[in-house]
Amino acid sequence: MDENKDLNEVEEFDDLDNIITLTDEEGNEIEFEYLDAVEMDGKEYIVLLPVEEQEKGEVVIFRVEGEEDNETYVGLEDEEEAEKVFNLFKEKARDDFDFAD
């Protein structure tokens, strides 16, 4: 959950396999598997799994900002905020994923 770069642009979203390609501030394209969206305290977050690092099983959480047609995904710097969102995701998805404790 240590993604501190804002991902500014959604390049591609494939509904069939939930892969989303994001472009970071430096123009690098990064592929993620979209896992879920979570709402907390009136804010929306998305939970993604980096395609390159799926063996590690570490997710990345972004806060969604902007309008639907022009969304920006902002990496969470506040570890407490990230942990709260992750706990909500785990509760919501407990039947779909096997979480290691």
Q: Is residue 13 part of a domain?
A: yes
pTM of the model: 0.74
The reported pLDDT for the residue numbered 2 is 40
Q: Is residue 99 part of a domain?
A: no
Range of the domain at 88: 7-92
Mean pLDDT for each 10-residue chunk of the chain (101 residues)? 44 62 87 92 94 77 89 91 93 74 57
Q: Is residue 2 part of a domain?
A: no
What is the Cα 68 distance to its own chain's centre? 16
Q: Is residue 31 part of a domain?
A: yes
Q: Is residue 1 part of a domain?
A: no
Q: What does the DSSP assignment read for 44-96?
A: EEEEEEEGGGTTTT--EEEEEES-GGG-EEEE---HHHHHHHHHHHHHHTTTT
The reported pLDDT for the residue numbered 99 is 67
The reported pLDDT for the residue numbered 96 is 72
The reported pLDDT for the residue numbered 100 is 64
Q: Is residue 86 part of a domain?
A: yes
Total Cβ atoms within 10 A of residue 9: 15
The reported pLDDT for the residue numbered 95 is 74
What is the total count of domains within the chain?
Answer: 1
Q: Is residue 97 part of a domain?
A: no
Q: Is residue 43 part of a domain?
A: yes
